Amino acid sequence: MTKRLFPWAALLLFWAALYLPGLGDLEIKGEEARRALPAVEMLQTGDWVVPHLNGTPYLRKPPLINWAIAASLRVTGMENEWSVRLPSVLAMLALGIAVFGTGVRWLPRPVAWVAAAAALSGLGLWEKGRLAEIEAIYVALTGIAFAWWLAAWVNRKRGFALWLVPALCMGLGLLTKGPTHMLLFYAVVIPVLFYAGEQRELWSAGHLCGLALAGLLFAAWAVPYFHATAALHADAVWASEMKQRVGVHEGALSIAADFLNALANGLPWILLAPLWWSRRVLDGLEPRRRTLLCAARWPLAIGFIGLVLIPGMVARYTLPFYPAIALLLALVLPSVGTGIQKTWGWLNTALALLLAAGAVGAVVYAGPALVEWHDFLAALLLAALAACAWPRLKGEKPVQLALGTALAYAAGLAIFAAAVQPKVRQMVDLRQAGAQVTAAIPADAPLYLVGATCSPVLFYTNLVHPCIYAGSLKHLPPDARYIITPGKKLTGPLAAARLLARFGTDKDTQMLLLEIPR
């Protein structure tokens, strides 16, 4: 029993060390406000069909992320950074469990564990998985669909056993960000079926019922939503969103930067991708697994590169591919040659030395008083995990090397969260700004947002009424008294207003809290 529970406990520890240290340290930023504030308003208004932001229907995204955050706020009973980011880190945990749990059905157990670790520890997934943003849940759902389908296909499952779980994930994904994940999923699945001569599976009852199930899940929300927003033309807003994402002109340097960022999001595991084209690796695979690799490697590579080259796309749009990439990289892991093993061993040694130096440097940078010392415990527990797991992998050198890389990498990220994030926390002032807003105006006074659709500082106010979006000064009602607007100084119609507070150090995000005299 202990032997069977050990990898699950190790995976839980690995996830916790990656995603929990410093989770609530940094303030809500950027897109997080657009996910958290509608969730707060859902709890206030009881409207779970149409998300609202600053009292106005928010029509740009489906609501699953808002539902998840609202549920977290209600269950935890707290309205803070930790609570709004909890759904994201739990989605990452679900992804790790799914990759390992399905991986052991077609990969050696240690290799399946490495696949789960790789899926969790890519730099881009680690970053997004610790934020209250759509990508964490979206990538997790796509990754679970990939993990289930690949395991079922390798084991020659058909019909509902092959398609039901992916269909559930597809339906929930539609409620998260729309249909893009379905394009990525089928970009891999369809070539595999055609390469294997099993394309008839696409017309099976299990697959067609699965598509119907995904559609029904989406329709259960979409029908009342579009009925409630008929006068607001939500479909036109969605079309505009897609148009803004695709076809935006970008220069060659911008595209090159996006491509490098996309590669960086998969570090360190993406470095193993060239092994997919190794003849030695292919010859060492059982026929069905070799078919899978031959069929999936080019769609993954072309899809990855193609997404970045599409004008308007950004590096994070490739993230849903990474769980499938992690599984195929794990598939070829046992076939890593001795030459690569030797180089990999030296790199792991260098990584360990860099980790030790980085831990000391981070403490010096932050100062002992600022360091979250309890978060350093995560790094120590990972070292203990390595000591326990190493003897169990005797004779499996590539897996040992991958385990060493994963644990050292996770320890480094945990040290970053423990020592560097507290220093960064001192450089921002949104919590203080929220307190200023709360103190400067009556709790029941309407607060209007002019010239910006959202500001993270609104998450930190403690007002009875949510902020009301006014668009521009001409849309302010005659009795409007308190407003928040971007800018650095008072000009034009606002020249006579009284400046109550100024917050935001970035010139592009600086906000003013004003009182209009009456």
The whole-angstrom separation of Cα 24 and Cα 419 is 14
Task: Looking at the structure, tell me whether residues 107 and 183 fall in a common domain.
Answer: yes
Q: Report, as an integer, the average pLDDT of 92-100.
A: 96
- Top pLDDT among 267 and 183 is at 183
Task: Looking at the structure, tell me whether residues 39 and 76 fall in a common domain.
Answer: yes
Residue 99 in this model has a pLDDT that exceeds 90: yes
- Top pLDDT among 147 and 260 is at 147
* Token duo for residue 402: 């991958």
Q: Report, as an integer, the average pLDDT of 170-181.
A: 90
- Top pLDDT among 494 and 85 is at 85
CB 18 within 8 Å of CB 190: no
pLDDT tens by residue, 450-460: 876 677 777 88
Q: Report if residue 10 sits inside a domain.
A: no
Q: What is the pTM of this model?
A: 0.90
Task: Looking at the structure, tell me whether residues 346 and 381 fall in a common domain.
Answer: yes
Instruction: Tell me which of 425, 440, 463 is where a domain ends.
Output: 425
| In the block, residue with structure tokens 């200023």 | 436
pLDDT, position 1: 45
pLDDT, position 379: 72
Residue 249 in this model has a pLDDT that exceeds 60: no
Q: Report, as an integer, the average pLDDT of 141-158.
A: 96
* Token duo for residue 235: 């479909």
Instruction: Give the lowest-confidence range in 155-159, 188-192, 236-240, 242-246.
Output: 242-246
pLDDT, position 190: 95
Residue 138 in this model has a pLDDT that exceeds 90: yes
pLDDT tens by residue, 345-357: 898 888 888 878 8
Q: Report, as an integer, the average pLDDT of 9-35.
A: 85
Residue 328 in this model has a pLDDT that exceeds 90: yes
Task: Looking at the structure, tell me whether residues 409 and 331 fall in a common domain.
Answer: no
Task: Looking at the structure, tell me whether residues 115 and 180 fall in a common domain.
Answer: yes
- Top pLDDT among 284 and 187 is at 187
Q: Report if residue 24 sits inside a domain.
A: no
The whole-angstrom separation of Cα 507 and Cα 518 is 30
Instruction: Tell me which of 335, 359, 379 is where a domain ends.
Output: 335
Residue 248 in this model has a pLDDT that exceeds 60: no
Closest CA to 66 of 54, 82, 48, 91: 48
Q: Report, as an integer, the average pLDDT of 42-64.
A: 86
pLDDT, position 223: 92
**55 band by pLDDT with thresholds 50, 70 and 90:** confident
The whole-angstrom separation of Cα 471 and Cα 163 is 46
* Token duo for residue 36: 């958290």
pLDDT, position 203: 94
pLDDT, position 464: 65
pLDDT, position 364: 77
Q: Which of the listed ranges 318-322, 336-340, 493-497 does the model predict with the highest average pLDDT?
A: 318-322
Per-residue HEC secondary structure of 338-363 comes to: HHHHHHHHHHHHHHHHHHHHHHHHHH
Residue 147 in this model has a pLDDT that exceeds 90: yes
3-state secondary structure of 103: helix
**116 band by pLDDT with thresholds 50, 70 and 90:** very high
Task: Looking at the structure, tell me whether residues 274 and 325 fall in a common domain.
Answer: yes
Q: Report if residue 440 sits inside a domain.
A: yes
Task: Looking at the structure, tell me whether residues 40 and 115 fall in a common domain.
Answer: yes
Q: Report if residue 11 sits inside a domain.
A: no
Q: Report if residue 146 sits inside a domain.
A: yes
| Amino acid in position 460 | Y
- Top pLDDT among 458 and 133 is at 133
Percent of the chain with pLDDT over 70: 88
The whole-angstrom separation of Cα 386 and Cα 341 is 18
pLDDT tens by residue, 377-427: 777 777 777 777 767 776 678 888 888 888 888 888 877 777 777 766 656
**Residue 353 lies in domain:** 338-425
CA neighbours closer than 13 Å in the CB half-sphere of residue 231: 2
The whole-angstrom separation of Cα 436 and Cα 38 is 22
User: What is the distance, to the nearest Å, from the Cα of residue 412 to the centroid of all Cα atoms in its chain?
Assistant: 19
Provide the mean pLDDT of the chain: 84
Percent of the chain with pLDDT over 90: 32
Rg (CA), the chain: 25
Q: Report if residue 48 sits inside a domain.
A: yes
CB 503 within 8 Å of CB 457: yes
Closest CA to 371 of 419, 427, 426: 419
Q: Report if residue 20 sits inside a domain.
A: no
pLDDT, position 174: 94
Task: Looking at the structure, tell me whether residues 383 and 244 fall in a common domain.
Answer: no
Domain total for the chain?
3
Instruction: Tell me which of 425, 443, 475 is where a domain ends.
Output: 425
Q: Report, as an integer, the average pLDDT of 30-36.
A: 86
Task: Looking at the structure, tell me whether residues 147 and 218 fall in a common domain.
Answer: yes
Task: Looking at the structure, tell me whether residues 323 and 346 fall in a common domain.
Answer: no
Task: Looking at the structure, tell me whether residues 175 and 305 fall in a common domain.
Answer: yes
Residue 273 in this model has a pLDDT that exceeds 70: yes
Q: Report if residue 345 sits inside a domain.
A: yes
Q: Report, as an integer, the average pLDDT of 67-91.
A: 93
Q: Report, as an integer, the average pLDDT of 282-308.
A: 88
- Top pLDDT among 393 and 465 is at 393
pLDDT, position 169: 96
β-strand pairing of 482-486 with 468-471: unpaired
Residue 496 in this model has a pLDDT that exceeds 70: yes
pLDDT, position 252: 66
Task: Looking at the structure, tell me whether residues 397 and 475 fall in a common domain.
Answer: no
Q: Report, as an integer, the average pLDDT of 90-102.
A: 96
pLDDT, position 49: 92
